[in-house]
């Protein structure tokens, strides 16, 4: 589909109940702070057809329930819009889903006390690329040598075509990214604040022919470039298990749950890292990346990103491109990144195969099954 034929926005809300939302999971939730499903009433119906007209009075609750209004309220909506298009059928995004641009914390989430918070003291913004910047001290390098040689040890390229892209060694590793943050002395232009500065590409959520919704961009994406975060409801592992049990297909629920376990360690000095990790649930509230499909030969990967070191237990999940990506190519990541061995073993066992889910990624490296 050529770009100029794409409508700028194509949300078609399903207020008549036609073309049922994809999710078969019971969205009723007795959890106090979960979001209620939008009310399907006449006012809502009017809002859908008139929300772009200036002289039409819009009630706050209508704005709250509208996907179009939710994504337009994002601070970066103007330079990097998110659009939703469906040229395949009549279906719309799930009614019980809402767009958010920052994760929402469940009331039981334990935050680090103020006295544990810290940042770097670099006055010269350029210093945050080098060993010696406190924000980089947990990165994987030889401190003595790096200090002596004044080596750049931060995660990014700083200049030219590749500016803000992950460096090769980082890109091929599974190591976390440590960035500067609001507790640091450097300013917001610091070159070690790429994820903090946010998404810089427009995204289009579109209906694919055979794999539900997918995500792509109208612009060329460079290898190593930051795409966006995976945001959602940050919940305890107990709450995540409760939601898995309530879900009709536990494995389907797992598609939306990401454990924040990059730093989990039973021996850690930080009690928050000794416990079972928190999880991010993006099923009912998330950003556009929640609609990214799986591929066995993906063009994106998720990296754990840390700002304040006291927040390792609620680290960010940041999508980066691991290849150059042409405009309008579907963005994908591997749902079982690095853990495909058990899957390959099971796929040779006829008893297990009947319970496995076929992969529709269509890549030449396809493993045949999603899980």
Residues found near Zn ion in the complex (CB under 5 A): 119-120, 122, 128, 133, 135, 180, 184, 186, 190, 192, 296, 359, 361, 366
Cross-strand partners of 98: 285
CB of residue 309 to Zn ion, shortest distance in Å: 10
Q: Report, in Å, the least distance between residue 122 CB and Zn ion.
A: 3
Q: In this structure, are residues 140 and 158 in contact, taking their beta carbons and an 8 Å threshold?
A: no
| Closer CB to Zn ion, 122 or 260, in the complex | 122
Please give the full DSSP string across 218-278, using - where no structure is assigned. Answer: SS-B-TT-EEEE---EEE-HHHHHHHHHHSSSHHHHHTTEEE--TT--TT-SSHHHHSPPP
User: At closest approach, how far in Å is the CB of 184 from Zn ion?
Assistant: 3
- Report the catalytic residues: 230, 335
What span, in angstroms and rounded, lies between the C-alpha atoms of 322 and 319? Answer: 9
- Give me the least distance between CB of 208 and Zn ion, in Å please: 14
**Nearer Cβ to Zn ion, position 186 or 318?**
186
* CA–CA dist 256, 287 (Å, integer): 12
Rounded least distance, CB 73 to Zn ion, Å: 29
Q: Which residue in 231, 251, 199, 248 sits closest to 79, CA to CA? A: 199
Torsion 334-336-342-346 (CA) sign: negative
- The conformational region for residue 288 under phi > 0 = left, psi -120 to 50 = alpha, else beta, is alpha
Alpha-carbon distances of 286 from 98, 246, 283, 292, 330, rounded to whole Å: 7, 20, 7, 12, 19
**Three-state DSSP class for 186?**
coil
């Amino acid at each position: 589909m050529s770009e100029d034929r794409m409508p700028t926005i194509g949300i078609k809300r399903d207020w008549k109940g036609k073309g049922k939302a994809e999710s078969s999971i019971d969205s009723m939730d007795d959890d106090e702070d979960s979001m209620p499903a939008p009310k399907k009433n006449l006012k809502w119906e009017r809002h859908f057809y008139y929300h772009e007209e200036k002289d039409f009075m819009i009630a706050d609750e209508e704005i709250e329930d509208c996907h179009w209004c939710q994504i337009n309220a994002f601070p970066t909506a103007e330079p990097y819009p998110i659009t939703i298009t469906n040229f395949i059928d009549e279906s719309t995004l799930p009614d019980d889903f809402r767009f958010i641009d920052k994760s929402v914390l469940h009331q039981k989430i334990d935050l680090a006390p103020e006295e544990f918070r810290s940042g770097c003291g670099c006055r010269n913004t350029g210093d945050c690329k080098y060993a010696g910047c406190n924000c980089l001290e947990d990165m994987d390098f030889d401190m003595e040598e790096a200090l002596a040689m004044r080596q750049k040890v931060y995660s990014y390229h700083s200049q030219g075509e590749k500016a803000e892209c992950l460096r090769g060694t980082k890109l091929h590793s599974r190591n976390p990214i440590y960035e500067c943050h609001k507790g640091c002395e450097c300013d917001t232009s610091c070159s070690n604040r790429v994820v903090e500065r946010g998404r810089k590409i427009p995204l289009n959520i579109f209906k694919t022919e055979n794999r539900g919704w997918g995500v792509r961009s109208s612009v060329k994406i460079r290898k190593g470039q930051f795409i966006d975060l995976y945001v959602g409801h940050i919940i305890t592992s107990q709450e995540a298990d409760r939601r898995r049990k309530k879900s009709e297909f536990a494995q389907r629920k797992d598609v939306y749950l990401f454990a924040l376990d990059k730093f989990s360690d039973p021996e850690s000095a930080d009690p928050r890292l000794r416990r079972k990790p928190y999880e991010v649930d993006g099923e009912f509230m998330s950003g556009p990346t929640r609609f990214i499909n799986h591929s066995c030969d993906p063009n994106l990967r998720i990296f754990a990103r840390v700002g304040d070191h006291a927040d390792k237990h609620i680290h960010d999940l940041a999508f980066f491109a691991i290849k150059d990506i042409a405009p309008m190519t579907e963005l994908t990541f591997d749902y079982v990144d690095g853990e495909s061995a058990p899957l390959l073993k099971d796929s040779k066992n006829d008893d297990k195969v009947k319970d496995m889910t076929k992969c529709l990624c269509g890549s030449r490296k396809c493993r045949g099954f999603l899980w």
